[in-house]
Amino acid sequence: MPAANRLGAEGDGFHIAMAALDGGRIGIAAQALGIGAAAYEASVAYAHERKSFGVPIGQHQMVQWMLADMAVALEAARMLTWRAAWLKDQGAAFGTESAMAKLFAAEAAMRVTTDAIQVHGGYGFIKEYGVERHFRDAKITQIYEGTSQIQKLVIARHLLQERAA
């Protein structure tokens, strides 16, 4: 390739590609967060309107616990995502933090959307309620820009390099 067509110095291609992935992981974390938030909001609304045993299902302890777990997971994912984005904006190293945000947000989105289907019961599987779509959309966030397993490798490698230094 002619030098005029390079994005960086010769031999820097891998580092440039990895930096692009690091930034993209923040976007995937934000996407996962949005998917999870939509499923959570639908579940809270449904818990108010659906009744069982004469009361809204939101008054049942197990539904309350699922909603609480959803809220906590989403808030933690939000904080990790914001931190990674802030580090990137500051021009600081953010590769490990973007991997953490992407990993946690994708896993949280899967847990939240799984619980959303549970809250909705049989209606969780039909398209009219939308949570089945959120569930399907959440799954891809565990896969692209590096699978959840790859994020764990990225994080662990950084931690081990940090410890060795």
Provide the CATH number for the domain around residue 135. 1.20.140.10
Range in 46-50, 80-84, 158-162 the model is least confident about: 158-162
Distance set, CA 122 to CA 5, 114, 131 (Å)? 56, 13, 11
Mean pLDDT value across residues 44-61: 96
For 117-141, how does the pLDDT look when each residue is reduced to its tens digit (9 = 90+)?
A: 999 999 999 888 899 999 999 999 9
Percentage of the chain exceeding pLDDT 70: 95
Instruction: Let me know if residue 2 belongs to a domain.
Output: no
Quick check: is 132 catalytic? no
Helix axes 95-120, 61-90, angle to 10 degrees: 160
Q: Which of 128, 132, 145, 162 is catalytic?
A: 145
Least confident interval from 20-29, 53-62, 65-74: 20-29
Could you tell me which of 141, 151, 134, 139 has the C-alpha nearest to residue 36?
134
Q: Tally the domains of the chain.
A: 1
Written as six digits, the tokens of 91 are: 């021009």
* Nearest CA among 72, 30, 71 for reference residue 47: 71
Give domain status of residue 1, yes or no: no
Domain span including residue 81 = 8-48+56-164
Calpha distance 104→76 (Å, rounded): 8
The reply to whether 152 falls in a domain is yes
Q: What digits encode the pLDDT tens for the residues 73-83?
A: 999 999 999 99
Residue 27 in domain: yes
Query: Has residue 102 been placed in a domain?
Result: yes
DSSP state of 130: -
On whether residue 3 sits in a domain, the answer given is no
